[in-house]
Structure 1
């Protein structure tokens, strides 16, 4: 492990030095010495991060699509409880990425946080594997788990959630740290291939792990995930001599809160006659502003510089982070719609005709189609950039992450409209004694899958590239935090729509299954909310 003998650098008197250590591009090797760009970092260690992501994505995706059935059929929870347990599990996992991102930006290296959280995830998987193999830790038929069985399940489940939050917070940023941040094209390609590997993991999950679970049971599935998690940890740790490590710069949130507090204090004392001479270095301020893309963004925060304890870099850090928040907020609704694939879409498929000749198609396997389309899209996009590498492609809108995020949000809105129509058709067929074929769900799966690919892939690149150097783990975690809040928002909207519709005579989800519910109206509601959300996103994206 790295020692504590980190070089001490003597600050110069140039304007750049006064931007403070927050913006420094100082990396160390595993000995704690200054990293040598010829030996540390580069494409090889960044590629290791992509391979590890493929393995981890297989585990996370497999848990997302199979745990509903495990809770329902093996642990004997109700349909509603099983769905909520999965959304709460994934929501907690992604939400915890913010906590781990804060730790890795402030106190520990991303490498250390990844290893700690990876071990926690492995321990949780071992607990679920043991429970799936031990009949004494499973409830009898038609009975819900006892207190001990439920406690064992939840400890294992949330150990996995804590671990997932840590690896999600650190792995993308760790891979990006291995590359020259001035090479924007290379950074963009890294995140494209990183997301490509994420999709490969999802593809293997739906096409391989789901059939294995249905044929051999959850015990075999969990054992495979334990092996894959062990392989991912070993692969990541094996690259430690090649990595370069960003030195944590202390708590960025403390610095942001300090800037906001000083600004509020200065703004509240309107009649003050404080002189800024001596406490505010105007040469440094101008040097900062010349390098900012948007000089007028949150310009009012410059008042905080009247305090001699506030550095210019702190103000810039605060401005940058606040500028990312509107983009983050407007992506939450998209993830609320993605949550429907994990819950309602699976339940829809279970009530539809899944026969294809002599084969029975698992509903979860339909997700293979949008994943394949996403993979092809990423390959074509990277080939396009390779062919035009000597040309200026900065004016091509599709190369900009904000445009891809917006396009993804638009497709999600359309997907909810299509999903509402298809569910209406399915209900009409049920009333007439017929069963709609499960392949009708491919339309909403494709639109939602591609929308998710464009949005999440664009978010990872955007938040990493735009983040302050001292907050890259936290800002990258915003992508996963958006997923978390979308999952929780999904549960909230289901409860609210149920409560409100119940006052008008019939709850949308008051029936014993989806054949006696109004999922089509819920999808229509999501469509309307997403259209309004998309308009809000366009407003903020244009102002960024």
Structure 2
């Protein structure tokens, strides 16, 4: 056996020794990472769809405030994944980032469980739907305890989202064709793990929260994340670890290019791109460096690599990195800039998702939740319908549909990443239009039965909650196409130095979507305040007198406009058609050619 061929370049084991294939990494190690991801979603997915009920019924927030607090929490969790990814790449590594994040999530859930258990730490029970009742609000130290727990949870969840996918991808060697295919399957399996963990969260955990108490619900979530961390740590001897590159921060390297291009904006570009700065003349400095060829896209960034004629620099002294950058750095910046329009066009989809996790759950609270007159389904469990479908369809899509479509398209993933994203964006617009139609139907039932002011805790509207399953089902299929497509797109298109950083673009897109949801709800309420008898389309606790159907139709129109904008940028995007060799490989290849010529 060729021992050198068994070594994995750039990866080490937990003791710092070079990782060895068939001993470290691969499918076996990735299964533990997928299981941890499943436990994390078991612990948190129910909160994404049901926490708004806890805010309204037990902490006495208004509907709009509860929705905004939830979307702010979710957005913070996703945006912090970028910060945690930078820490993982430059300081502590993805393994340690995942363990630390899991402990913070454990702590946050524990604090929430304590507050939910002790009555003195939250307002007294009160019927918020009674207009004559004066329900106490959460204030002072009790409010501080709530947000401390929530944002410990947000930091931990963001760190797990940053560390687990990238650490899972580290278990495969992109240069090995077999492991490269396994890596593609791993990304599809991430969504499958989310769905399996989410299925337990949306059924068992939501039922516990609604019928056994939120202290039990938070307690079960705490146990779930504890088991996930233990399982993850148990795989330590099997993992391939990335080598921490210290100060070589990909985000900082990109920022240097933009600043250098601005500082050099008055310089003229050379006619020959070969005259731009690169380290290929210094073989020792270039041995471990990645090399990317020059492209003609975004030529204004090339000024970051223009060597100033007046610069009096010796050959051995390094250039000012904030004024002169390598061509490879510039190409990395170009790639990032080219992906930003795609990134921007996916924000609106998460904005729509936020409504299914907030207002749609509140819709379900007012509807008939019984099944065969013996069991009542919690409204927050409705997403189990698309989740159950995805558990079946993801393996079928990955193992049957993709190979079949590949025969006709020649694309390794069946359809291109951008086509996959586009399908999901269309379906999200359809989902919002469907939600608007069903909400109009629900309100019509309330009006015809004189139940506009009915207390949903005691009087359910005579319309089944399963009508809402249509909007959840359509959006669930959109999830499979867009979010997995985005994760694969960002990872595959990003240069080598940016791959782990790029996996967080998906979470950043979702974060901005949640924050935009908060802004849009406030804007809609203010803009419609004078045109309604209440304080806006979405204000107040009585959803029967709100105009949620109009808000859903607005989102559908915005989604359609967004899709047209996406088509405009997607057809102009040029894929990175081939992976460029490292400069080390080019130099070694040149040396081999020289030896052959001498011979």
Matched position secondary structure for 1:543: coil
Does the CA contact (< 8 Å) of 1:173 and 1:464 recur in 2? no
Once residues 486 and 138 of structure 1 are traced to their aligned partners in structure 2, the CA distance between those partners, rounded to angstroms, is: 30
Q: Is the 8 A contact 1:199 1:374 kept in 2?
A: yes
TM-aligned CA distance change 1:517 to 1:395, over 3 Å:
same
- Of 392, 395, 409, which aligns to 1:379? 395
Moved more, 357-366 or 165-174: 357-366
Alpha-carbon displacement from aligned partner over 1:394-421 (angstroms, at most 9, x marks no partner): 3377443221111000000111111111
| Aligned residue runs from structure 1 range 416-455, under 5 A | 416-433=432-449, 435-455=462-482
Match of 2:146 among 153, 156, 160: 153
Q: Name the CA shift for 1:494/1:410 in 2 (closer, same or farther; >3 Å).
A: same
Q: Distance in 1 between matches of 2:90 and 2:56?
A: 41
| 1:55 corresponds to which of 30, 39, 48 | 39
Change (3 A) 1:426 1:30: same
Aligned to 1:483: 510
Q: Which moved more, 1:325-334 or 1:274-283?
A: 274-283
Rounded Cα–Cα distance in structure 2 between residues aligned with 1:278 and 1:297: 15
Identify which of 513, 538, 544 aligns with 2:567. Answer: 538
Specify every segment of 5 or more residues in structure 2 that has no aligned partner in the other structure, as ranges: 1-7, 126-134, 283-288, 308-318, 450-460, 574-599
Q: How does 1:275-424 map to 2 (within 5 A)?
A: 279-280=277-278, 295-307=295-307, 309-358=324-373, 359-384=375-400, 394-395=410-411, 398-424=414-440
Q: CA deviation at 1:109?
A: 0.9
Partner in structure 2 of residue 193 of structure 1: 189
With 275-284 and 497-506 compared, the bigger mean Cα shift is at 275-284
Q: Unpaired runs of 5+ in structure 1? A: 1-23
CA–CA distance in structure 1, aligned partners of residues 407 and 276 of structure 2 = 47
Which structure is larger by alpha-carbon Rg, 1 or 2?
2
**Offset of 1:33 from its aligned partner?**
2.5
* 8 A contact 2:62–2:540 mirrored in 1: no
Q: What secondary structure does 1:436 align onto?
A: strand
Distance 1:215 1:431, change over 3 A: closer
**1:109 is aligned to 2:124:** no
Whole-Å separation in 2 of the counterparts to 1:383 and 1:114? 30
Q: Give 1:40's match in structure 2, choosing from 24, 47, 61.
A: 24
After TM superposition, the score normalised by the length of structure 1 is: 0.88
Distance between the aligned counterparts of 1:516 and 1:390, measured in 2?
Answer: 51
What root-mean-square deviation, in Å, do the aligned CA atoms of Structure 1 and Structure 2 show? Answer: 2.8
What count of residue pairs does the alignment treat as equivalent?
517
Q: SS of 2:20's equivalent?
A: coil
Give the drift of 1:330.
0.7
- 1:408 match: secondary structure: helix
In 1, distance between residues paired with 2:174 and 2:52?
A: 41
Q: Quote the offset at 1:387 in angstroms.
A: 6.1
> What is the 5 A alignment of 1:76-91?
76-91=60-75
Structure 1 residue 505, shift from structure 2 partner:
4.8
Tell me the CA shift for residue 39 of structure 1.
2.1
Aligned to 2:525: 498
Q: TM-score, normalised by structure 2?
A: 0.81
| Contact 1:105–1:251 (8 Å) recurs in 2 | yes
CA contact (8 A) 1:105 1:470 kept: no
Seen in structure 2, the aligned counterparts of structure 1 residues 283 and 401 have a Cα distance that, compared at 3 Å, is: farther
Instruction: Tell me the distance in 1 between the aligned counterparts of 2:210 and 2:332.
Output: 50
